[in-house]
Copies of this chain bind each other. A is one copy, B any other.
């Protein structure tokens, strides 16, 4: 990664806005000399937050004023129509006009997807963009898509997800032939709905490294690199996992804070527990990619803290270096041609 990379940040997005996004930006600028950032949002607020950092990082840290903000509960249509100078919209516009190589937002997912799709457009051959993210597995992580951008996908659209997912994973994880699985309710071919069954046939006939049907527990086994599913199913799997993980943390804290004795035990076990918690820390997986677009857009969790938001910017940086949208565009052309599903 020698060429310089410019990333636009929707600095007003998410639950904590500039209070976590500015510190995350400064962390990234300190870490990578080849990265420039454009903070998009309220100029006065951003100047105050940045303090003398604007002088310190010079041209690598710019502020781009935007007068509006997209609410976390605002409808995608309302945001698209009425918020043409929102920090989110302007960050995406900067990608469109080439001033930025990618953008990152912790804002409203629906509005982000709708705006990105409207401004950047989908890649030729892609019906619908999708949301993909890594989830932790025993041997590292598994990428899952779609996580909620699209529901009721047909078999051809599920096939496109597989191509996009495999291409992204090959690029960013350096896996030559990522193992692709199709999420189903059972490993036998008789199960599943028609869309899933037909997608299975398309994938079996394709040149992808398709390993067949997988089930929900395969997200964490590490036996598959990319799991393809409808956005409804993927979103429920993601949210259920997040809920379960936070419940487990809650129970663990409770168990160790019961009385003096358990507190002492907790003190002794602290370094081990910290190590353990680090492995499943959801902040390490923060940063979902909106793929299938003619540009790089990364969605951070709305409640992300600085550590988590830094991770989301790192993902943007890697996708720029690996030219993910261009690679997906080429790949989808080849594969759809080969399987006759154009």
User: A residues touching B (Cβ–Cβ < 8 Å)?
Assistant: 73, 75, 110, 136-138, 148, 151-152, 183, 185-186, 188, 190-193, 215-221, 229, 231-233, 235-248, 250-252, 254-256, 258, 262, 264-266, 268-269, 271-273, 275-276, 279-280
**Contact indicator B218/A243 (Cβ below 8 Å):** yes
A231 CB contacts on chain B under 8 angstroms: 185
Majority secondary structure of chain A interface residues (helix, strand, loop or mixed): helix
Q: Which of B110, B236, B246, B248 is in CB contact (< 8 Å) with A233?
A: B236
A148 CB contacts on chain B under 8 angstroms: 185-186
**Contact indicator B247/A275 (Cβ below 8 Å):** no
A193 CB contacts on chain B under 8 angstroms: 151-152, 232
**Contact indicator A239/B255 (Cβ below 8 Å):** no
A238 CB contacts on chain B under 8 angstroms: 216
CA of A276 to CA of B191, assembled, Å = 36
**Contact indicator B262/A272 (Cβ below 8 Å):** yes
**Contact indicator B243/A245 (Cβ below 8 Å):** no
**Contact indicator B250/A138 (Cβ below 8 Å):** yes
CA of A14 to CA of B192, assembled, Å = 23
**Contact indicator B236/A221 (Cβ below 8 Å):** no
CA of A75 to CA of B188, assembled, Å = 9
